[in-house]
Amino acid sequence: SRSNVVLNYTKYLADNQFVKTRAFVSAYDFLLYSNFTFFLNDSINGDQIRQKENRQIYGLDTELNYRINKNSDSDLLFKIGTGIRYDDVNDIELSNTLNRKTTLSHLALGQVDESNIFGHADATFVSGKWMLNAGIRADYFKFIYENQLSALYDLRYATKTAWSPKLNIQYTINKSIQLFAKSGKGFHSNDTRVVIDEQAQHVLPAAYGIDFGGVLKPNKNLIINAALWYLHLDQEFVYVGDGGIVEPSGRSRRQGLDFGVRYQPTHWMFIYSDLNLANPRSVDDAEGENYIPLAPTLTNTGGISFHSGQNISGGLRYRHVADRPANEDNSIVAQGYTVIDLNVNYTFKNIMLGLEINNLFNTEWNETQFATESRLKDEAAPVEEIHFTPGIPFFIKGKLTYLF
């Protein structure tokens, strides 16, 4: 379960100045029983595990916006802000269990306190057909972990600061064509328990990204956008849920193409589609053994939506994921899928009645899947294969909405 409370406040200091402030609190309880490997590790009781945590998140951030209008063709906008977030995680646990009742052993049990203090500055300058945006963000993290499995008091901590600059350029050729280049540096955050074990060597591995693309609007009813992109990670992480660890697996790079279309043939119909192509690879492994398990190589989403202008609205949506490698040498493949959903709504005054059909053609698909070793109770040796959670089958549901 999760509960969130968010408070937003905006204070206008002048016509060209205002301050935005946000405060939030989140309470989160997590409990999950699972068994990925059946009887691989324990041939008698099985490999059932319990993952559990109780988390409270507190945060406050504020940002000053200041705009300078130099003339009709030039505009300068400054943003500067700061904030803090604190995660208080109690009883974070990974245990071997039996029948969800008996605890056989604890693999991990402790308390996590994670603090993040950050500040950022951003400037956007617009002059004629050009737009230049530059910014920088600084993050300070403190990770604290109390290991409650230790016989002695065991409190460990690590700190790290990360600097994240960005630079974006945009050029508008005319009302129909716009070109852009975007670049930036970020970081890949990590599990506090792993940060402590790694002794701060890979606390916030850097991520570097760059995009080149454009937006084309041939007429008022059609918009086309495309971008070539590249992403480099100094460290790729693989989460091993039943082991309670996050394994570092070296550097990685991803490059690809994003392509999107928005088309409105009539005043009551809207057609859209987004295609994403990617070539993800590990940098430090040999060719043929450098696939990144489960990293998407082709995804496509889109659909048709309509609104009669009277009382009827709805749409047809699809999502497609192509086959992709499930292990490092691509000898095991995670099967792709195409799923189509349909919805129709009827509105009368303040009441909207809706009908939704999930998986219209009852496609068999895997919502979650991964390659791992497992063993059944009567098997002599483990087998490495795809393990999966089935996706939602054909399903109809109704919806009643009151509009105000």
Instruction: Give 115-151 pLDDT, tens digit per residue.
Output: 999 999 999 999 999 999 999 999 999 999 999 999 9
Q: Tell me how far apart the alpha carbons of residues 217 and 267 are, in angstroms, rounded to a whole number.
A: 17
pLDDT at position 49 is: 95
Q: Tell me how far apart the alpha carbons of residues 167 and 339 are, in angstroms, rounded to a whole number.
A: 38
- Pairing between β-strand 324-325 and β-strand 312-321 as defined by DSSP bridges: unpaired
| 357 and 342 Cβ atoms separated by less than 8 Å | yes
Q: pLDDT tens-digit profile of 52-101?
A: 999 999 999 999 999 998 677 789 999 999 999 999 999 999 999 999 99
Please report, for the chain, the start and end positions of each structural domain, with discontinuous segments joined by +.
Answer: 72-402
What is the CB neighbour count within 10 angstroms for residue 125?
A: 16
Q: Tell me how far apart the alpha carbons of residues 66 and 14 are, in angstroms, rounded to a whole number.
A: 9
Range ranked top by mean pLDDT from 149-153, 157-161, 314-318, 373-377: 314-318
pLDDT at position 375 is: 95
Range ranked top by mean pLDDT from 9-18, 201-210, 242-251: 9-18
Q: Is the pLDDT of residue 256 over 90?
A: yes
Q: Say which residue, 250 or 265, is predicted with more confidence.
A: 265
Torsion from C-alpha of 377, 381, 386, 392, nearest 10 degrees: -10
From residue 23, give the alpha-carbon distance in Å to each of 29, 55, 81, 361: 21, 17, 14, 44
Rg (CA), the chain: 25
Q: Which tokens belong to 42?
A: 């324990």
Q: Could you tell me which CATH number the domain at 72-402 has?
A: 2.40.170.20
Residue 192's pLDDT band, with cuts at 50, 70 and 90, is confident
Residue 242's pLDDT band, with cuts at 50, 70 and 90, is low
Residue 13's pLDDT band, with cuts at 50, 70 and 90, is very high
From residue 348, give the alpha-carbon distance in Å to each of 208, 244, 355: 51, 52, 15
Q: Identify the residue whose tokens are 């089935």.
A: 390
Residue 237's pLDDT band, with cuts at 50, 70 and 90, is confident
Q: Tell me how far apart the alpha carbons of residues 186 and 16 are, in angstroms, rounded to a whole number.
A: 30
Q: Which tokens belong to 347?
A: 């509105």
Q: Identify the residue whose tokens are 């599990």.
A: 191
Average the pLDDT over each of 267-281, 352-366, 377-391 and give the range with the smallest value.
377-391
